[in-house]
Structure 1
C-alpha cells in the first residue's frame, strides 16, 4: 500500500494505473443518468489519466456495444455472478477482462446453465483471460454466509480484490489470504456512482496483459481506501443528487431497483406524482434527505451492522480452524 503522492512519483517513472471495477448505466443497479453512461465514464477515465479503462457491469457487456470494443486504452470487462452451491456454497462475483462477445456468451452460459466454478475457471485459463475474485468476504443478503469456504476459493484465483466499499477488517482478511497463497491484490472503487479512480492499482506493463500479469506476481502497488462514515455520507449525498436532480427528466428511473431498500425508497419518493408536479416540494424532500444524511446516523447504522457481520464472519472462521485442528 502506498500514498497517492508516492503513486504520482511512480507514474512519472512509467508505472501504469487502473481502476479494475467500475459500473455504468448498463448495470441494473446504476441510475440511468447521463453522467454514468459508458461514454461519460470513458471520457472521465481518460481525463483522470487512467492508463487502462475497463467497465465491469453485472453480467452484461452492453457498455462495449455502446462504446465499441476497440477504443484507446479500453479493456473489455465484465462482472459475472456464478452460484456454485455444491462447491462454493454461495454466489461469487468474478471480474473477467480482455474477453470478446463470444467468450462472454459462453461464460454466461456456464454461469447460468451449468454453475460449476471449476469448469468456469477452467474456461478462463484455457482462453488465457485475466480474472479476479471480487470482494471475497461479501455475501448476497438472501444467501447463507459461507466464509469458511473463502480460503479454498481464493486458491483458484490469481488476483483478489481490495474493495473500497468493504470494511477494513474484510480487506485485511483478503490481504492475509493473498499473502498466504501468494496471490495478487488489486484495489478497486467498485463504484456505482461515477466515483472511479478514488482507489487504484499500479503496475508496470506496455499492455494490459503485462500489467495484469505483474499484479498476479505481486509486482504492484495499491492506493486504497476503506469504508468510513465520511465516505458513506458522501456516497449517500451523491445518490440523493443523482435521484432528485440528475434523473428528474429520465423516465427509465421509474423501474429502477438496486435491491438496497433505502435507495429504492428514495427513488419511489422522487417518482411520486406529488413531487413530480411540484418542484418546490421535490426540493424540500431532497433537502430533508440531505439533512438526514449529513447527521451521519444512516452511515453509522450501516457501519454498525457491517461491523457486526464482520465479527460473525471472523468467529465462524475461528471455529472452523479449531474444528480442523
Structure 2
C-alpha cells in the first residue's frame, strides 16, 4: 500500500497502472448518463493514461460490442454472478479478464445452468483466464456470507479485491485473508458513477497477462481508499445529479443499489410522478440534496455496515490474524 505520490514515481519508472473494476451503462445498475457510456469512459481512461482499460459490467459484454473487441489498451472483462446454493450458499461476484466471446458464453452457461462454483473456477483455470474475487465479504440482498465459506473461497482465487466501496474493517479482513493464504490483492473503484482510476493497482508487465501475473505473485502495490461518511455523501450527491440531471427521463432504470436512500431516489425518479411538474421536480431535487448533505442517510448506512463488519471480525478472528496492510 503506497501513496499516490510514490505511485507517480513508480509509473514514471515504467510500472503499469489499472483499475480492474469499472461499470458502464451496460450494467443494469448504472444510470443511462452520457458520461457513463462505454465510448466516453474509454476515452476518459485513455486521457487519464491508464495502461490497461477494462470494463466489468454485470454478466454482459455489451461494452465490447459497442466499442469493438480490439481497441488500444482495452482488455475484455466482466463481473460474473455465480450462485452455488449447495456448496456456497450466497451469491459471489467474480471479475474475469482477457477472454474471447466464446469463452464468455461458456462461462455464462456454467454460471446460470450448472450453478457450480467448482465447475466455474475449473473452467477459468483450464483456459488460463485471469480472475479476481470481488468484495469477499459482500452478499446479495437477504443473504449473509458465512465466514468459513468466505475463507474456503479465498483459497481458490489468485487475487482478492480491496474495494473502494467497502468499509476499512472489511478491507482489512480481505488483506488478512490474502496474507494468510498467499494471495494477491488488487485495489479497485467498483465505480458506477464514472470515477475510474480514483484507486488503482500498480505492477510491472508489458502485457496484461504479465501485469496480472505479478499481482498474483504479490509483486505489486495498491493505492486504495475506504468508504467514509464524506465519500458516501459525495457519492449520494453524484447519484442525485445522475438521476435527476444527467439521465434522460424516458430512459431511467429501476434498480437496487443496496443503499435504501438511493433506492428511494431511483423509485421516485422512475415513477412518473415528477414528469408533469418541473417545479415539483426541482423542489424534490433540492430536498434530496439537503437530506443527503445532512449526513443522516450516510450515517445510517455506515452504521449498519459497521455492525456487519464487527460480526464478521468476531466470527473470523479465530481463523485469521489481522495483519498489517501492505
Name the TM-score, length of structure 1 as normaliser.
0.95
SS class of match (2:54): coil
C-alpha deviations, 1:75-100, integer Å up to 9, x for none?
00000011112222221110000011
Pick closer, same or farther for the CA change 1:148–1:54 going to 2, 3 Å. same
| 2:229 and 2:298 in contact (8 A); partners too | yes
CA RMSD of aligned residues (A): 1.4
**1:110–1:120 Cα contact (<8 Å) kept:** yes
Q: Is the 8 A contact 2:29 2:255 kept in 1?
A: yes
Name the counterpart of 1:305: 304
SS of residue in 2 equivalent to 1:88: coil
Aligned to 1:208: 208
- C-alpha contact (below 8 Å) 1:136/1:160 kept by paired residues: yes
1:140 is aligned to 140
1:50 matched to 2:50: yes
- Give, in angstroms, the shift of residue 252 of structure 1: 2.0
What is the DSSP-based 3-state SS (H/G/I as helix, E as strand, rest coil) of the residue aligned with 1:314?
Answer: helix
Could you tell me how far 1:219 is from its partner in structure 2?
Answer: 0.5
Contact 1:18-1:197 within 8 A present in 2 as well: yes
DSSP 3-state at the match of 2:92: strand
- Mapping of residues 159-238 of structure 1, within 5 Å: 159-238=159-238
In structure 2, the gaps of 5 or more residues are 321-326
Structure 1 segment 257-276 matched on structure 2, within 5 A: 257-260=255-258, 261-276=260-275
**Contact 1:33 1:250 survives alignment (8 Å):** no
CA distance in 2, matches of 1:4, 1:104: 34
Q: Which residue of 2 aligns with 1:285?
A: 284
Contact kept? 2:254, 2:270, Cα under 8 Å:
no
The 8 Å contact of residues 32 and 250 in structure 1, kept in 2 or not, is answered as: no
Q: What is the CA-CA distance between 1:116 and the residue it aligns to? A: 1.3
In the TM superposition, what are the counterparts of 1:29-178 in structure 2 within 5 Å? 29-178=29-178
CA distance in 2, matches of 1:103, 1:162: 26
What do the CA deviations read for 1:146-181 (whole angstroms, capped 9, x no partner)?
122111111111000000001101101111111111
Unaligned runs of at least 5 residues, structure 1:
none
The offset of 1:256, in angstroms, is: 2.4
In 2, the alpha carbon distance for the partners of 1:273 and 1:130 equals: 43
- 1:243/1:270 contact within 8 Å kept: yes
Is the 1:28–1:258 Cα contact (8 Å) retained in structure 2? no
* Cα deviation, residue 8, structure 1: 0.5
Name the SS for the 1:79 alignment partner.
strand
Please give the alpha-carbon distance, in whole angstroms, between the structure 2 residues aligned to 1:210 and 1:125: 16
Specify the alignment match of 2:254 in structure 1: 256
Partner Cα distance (2:102, 2:206) in 1: 26
Provide the secondary structure at the position in 1 that maps to 2:111: helix
* Correspondence for 2:323: none
Deviation by residue 1:260-309 (Cα, 9 ceiling, x = unmatched) = 34323212323454522232321221111111111111111111000001
